[in-house]
Chain A
């Protein structure tokens, strides 16, 4: 019975991927992509990876989808490649599929796994969720660099603004007058979103959830408020905003450096008080992730007023 459900989900994912590929309009393709992300999240649940499912739904489908949706709406249709290129591409894609399918069918038995080692040291971390233990303890350097990658992406986006606008505010997320239902939802949903985001962060220590999932939900609550025009985007030059962006990665880095002194290695935690330290770091990066994700959805800072960006980049 479960296999029937899984086959259905797999076929549904492929159908949606083809829909994204073949849709006539870029906007329809982007909407299909959001649907694909949600189906993929269900596949992750079926693979017993609820942490990944939450990330896929919140970031892979939600925030990524939002970024692509608003751009696809403005995209002009461009003719695809000619028949020869398409034929060649189909051949290459089919060869890649065959290669990967052969790998899937010949995966080694028994499968290599680090689950036992992850479980063996779980008690020392004080955490109950092994995925959080991997993210914040065993491979904490990955997660530290990941928060820095988010910041770098934001610097990349902001650097597309002209020098004179660098410290200004990003333009509104939505230039048109919001409809009453949108304003209504933007008033009642954010408190629930904030509660859900904080819960996901807090529960991530022991059950599925964590800083990235919680941060994404917090960002979504903020973006809804921006979408309805209830608040204006903050100025990129604001010291408070920049402090908030840096707070998580900087605290993570500082805790890592203190680990050299108190626990003998970079990003090591002293035994016994590991869990409180991890929770403090997670809280800090959750806040920074939420703000960074939200700002990555917005455009780079632009001069005030309804004018579109000009082609000039220097004053």
Chain B
């Protein structure tokens, strides 16, 4: 019980829940921007889990193990890079003429499949 009542455990469970929420959103959301948002929630949860591990590794007068903390900083920056690239692709898609959009591509793909089958 005492283990459950500590900040690292509490935030560890928060991180686990954030991963679950992000994963669910990543699967069910229809819109690409919403999926990128969900992906970032998932990432935030994983970083938080790593932060809990860093906090538990506190020692040598530091509040946490500096190695995982530095890796999380790297992770946040890399996640931003990936997000910026994904968003640029989405914006390019938004700027395309309507007939080339996602839904129409799917129907176009389906009709090609039908043609291939017949």
Contact at A113–B73, with CB atoms within 8 Å?
no
Contact at A46–B59, with CB atoms within 8 Å?
no
Which secondary structure characterizes the binding site on chain B? helix
Which of the residues A14, A119, A134 comes within 8 Å of B21, measured between beta carbons?
A: A14
Contact at A33–B40, with CB atoms within 8 Å?
yes
B9 to chain A, nearest CB (A): 6
B117 close to chain A: CB less than 8 A: no
B48 to chain A, nearest CB (A): 7
Note all chain B residues with C-beta closer than 8 A to A238: none
A143 close to chain B: CB less than 8 A: yes
Which of the residues B21, B57, B79 comes within 8 Å of A93, measured between beta carbons?
A: B21
A252 close to chain B: CB less than 8 A: no
Chain A, 39-65, contact with B by CB distance < 8 Å: what is the 0/1 string?
010011011110110011001100110
A274 to chain B, nearest CB (A): 17
Note all chain A residues with C-beta closer than 8 A to B44: 36-37, 40, 56, 60
A176-184, A259-267, A293-301 - interface stretch? A293-301
Q: When A89-B24, A113-B57, A130-B62 are in contact, do A75 and B94 touch as well, CB less than 8 Å?
A: yes
B85 close to chain A: CB less than 8 A: yes
Which of the residues B9, B31, B63, B80 comes within 8 Å of A105, measured between beta carbons?
A: B9
Note all chain B residues with C-beta closer than 8 A to A6: 7, 10-11
- The range of chain A's interface size is 35 or more
Can you name the residue of chain B whose Cβ is closest to the Cβ of A100? B16
The size of the chain B interface, using a CB distance under 8 A, is 85
Contact at A47–B77, with CB atoms within 8 Å?
no
Note all chain A residues with C-beta closer than 8 A to B96: 311
Complex CA gap A96/B54 in Å reads 21
Complex CA gap A131/B83 in Å reads 25
Note all chain A residues with C-beta closer than 8 A to B72: 49, 52, 55
A78 close to chain B: CB less than 8 A: yes
Q: When A14-B21, A60-B76 are in contact, do A153 and B82 touch as well, CB less than 8 Å?
A: yes
Note all chain A residues with C-beta closer than 8 A to B111: none
Contact at A105–B4, with CB atoms within 8 Å?
yes
Chain A, 52-97, CB within 8 A of any chain B CB: 52, 55-56, 59-60, 63-64, 67-68, 71-72, 74-81, 85-86, 88-90, 92-94, 96-97
Complex CA gap A135/B81 in Å reads 18
A173 close to chain B: CB less than 8 A: no
Note all chain B residues with C-beta closer than 8 A to A149: 77-78, 81
Chain A, 191-206, contact with B by CB distance < 8 Å: what is the 0/1 string?
0000000000000000
Contact at A104–B13, with CB atoms within 8 Å?
yes
Closest 6 CB pairs of A and B: A48-B63, A113-B57, A104-B12, A119-B60, A78-B30, A100-B16
User: Which residues of chain B have a CB within 8 Å of any CB of chain A?
Assistant: 3-25, 27-34, 36-38, 40-41, 44, 47-49, 51-67, 69-74, 76-85, 87-92, 94-97, 100, 102
27 contacts between A and B (CB under 8 A): A7-B10, A10-B10, A10-B14, A13-B18, A47-B8, A47-B52, A52-B72, A56-B47, A64-B80, A64-B83, A67-B84, A68-B37, A72-B33, A76-B31, A76-B94, A79-B30, A89-B23, A104-B52, A115-B66, A116-B59, A116-B60, A120-B60, A131-B70, A134-B66, A139-B67, A157-B84, A300-B88
